[in-house]
Amino acid sequence: MFSRYGIVAARNVVGKSVTQRTILPASTGAARWINLHEYQSKDLMESYGVQVQNGKMAENAEDAKAIASAIMASPQHSPDGVDFIVKAQIHAGGRGKGHFEDPSGNKIEMGGVKITQDLDAVGEFTGKMLGNNLITKQTSAEGQMCRKVLINEGINIKRELYFALLHDRAYGGPCVVCSLQGGMSIEDVAEETPEAIIVEPIDITVGLTDAQSTLIADKLGFTGADTVAQAKKNMHSLYDLFLSTDATQVEINPLAETECGKVFAVDAKLNFDDSASFRQKAIFDQRDKSMEDARDVRAEEAGLNYIALDGNIGCMVNGAGLAMATMDAISMHGGEAANFLDVGGGANAAAVAEAFKILTSDPNVKCILVNIFGGIMKCDTIAEGIVDAYKQVGLEVPLVVRLEGTNVDLGKKLIKDSGLPIITADDLDEAAIKSCGAI
């Protein structure tokens, strides 16, 4: 799948792969992209006229069986329908090749996508998925809890294609990215055969034209008047969705052609920029925070910018640039940062306390380094917050504090007079050395 940072191809840069022309959302930075479950994405696509399989979300085994029965009895039952597909709903790809673990950590030899023609088996698979953690290549080692499943009608797929709509800075607007090689990792396709990736820019003032959709349909190998018409209709409907919902990504993998010439959006990945949340309330109200890192959610609610990393020195800094410099300094002295945490310029004592709670909730954190340059946020205010937070949290790991800027002397005095075992430093280099040494 495409990441928020762009698609992959021939070379790697800082762990992210890029094409000969990197394709990016129009808005990058501190924005948080909302993710929808597959069933939510398909419901949304269907509302825009995109052809999707019959199906519905279930939260228990009985409902899953009832949905399968309704699909079979539906007058809209597809002549291509041959199976029922039970799909675990988590925010990660690779579900079919993953495996489950129960809450005790016992492995369940079953993937997150199961196909059956038996109604009882639909209920059985659903029961085994719900309440257990699904672990895939795109999740953490703990995986994500499956609380919902999607029951879909199976179709006889003749060809699997790839189709996506993204923002491309090179063109200053949206573009179609597609490939004949669908139903597989698009990153692998772009890495191994970049020539298989087709890019068609769209003039934002005109939109996707009939000539362009005809050209794309031809490049994707659609033939027959009815099949070509269906493919083009899906493309235009997806573009309408892309613009109308302020999406940063609309990815269909696969876009499938069936044996009888129908065209379905079989799997979908939709992303939306949260800067448009005031316009897209109905979409953002569907956000499932249970699929997100609890620390990320807490940080967002407190107005903090937080990203978990793999190290053991927790960092609390004001300003993204200073945060990066602090992480570099730690690395230079043999340590490894456990996170990026920017409290911003207007943080108060409550925000500092919440930052400490988030840092200490990570069991890997063995030391905390606070590096603050006082400007809008004065050093004495930060010092008060640090002292209060230390007492509230009952900090059990070493704490190193470096303050500089407005009211720095007053801030240092507050820390010294607190009587707490806080390690102080006069510059960043000293702070990094002391942090690594404290561990």
Cα–Cα distance between 222 and 238 in angstroms, integer? Answer: 17
DSSP element (H, E) containing 404:
strand 399-405
Residue 162 burial (CB count, 10 A): 24
Q: How far is CA 184 from the centre of its chain?
A: 19
**SS3 state of residue 188:** helix
Cα–Cα distance between 54 and 367 in angstroms, integer? Answer: 52
Among the listed residues 39, 162, 239, 390, the single catalytic one is: 162
Residue (of 211, 204, 115, 208) closest to 163 by Cα position: 208
Residue 259 known to be catalytic: no
Cα–Cα distance between 414 and 382 in angstroms, integer? Answer: 10
> Is residue 251 a contact partner of residue 2, using CB atoms and an 8 Å limit?
yes
DSSP string, 270-326: EEEEGGGTTT-HHHHTT--GGGS-HHHHHHHHTT-EEEE-SSSEEEEESSHHHHHHH
Among the listed residues 38, 153, 251, 404, the single catalytic one is: 251
Residue 251 known to be catalytic: yes
DSSP element (H, E) containing 150:
strand 149-153
Residues recognised as catalytic: 162, 251
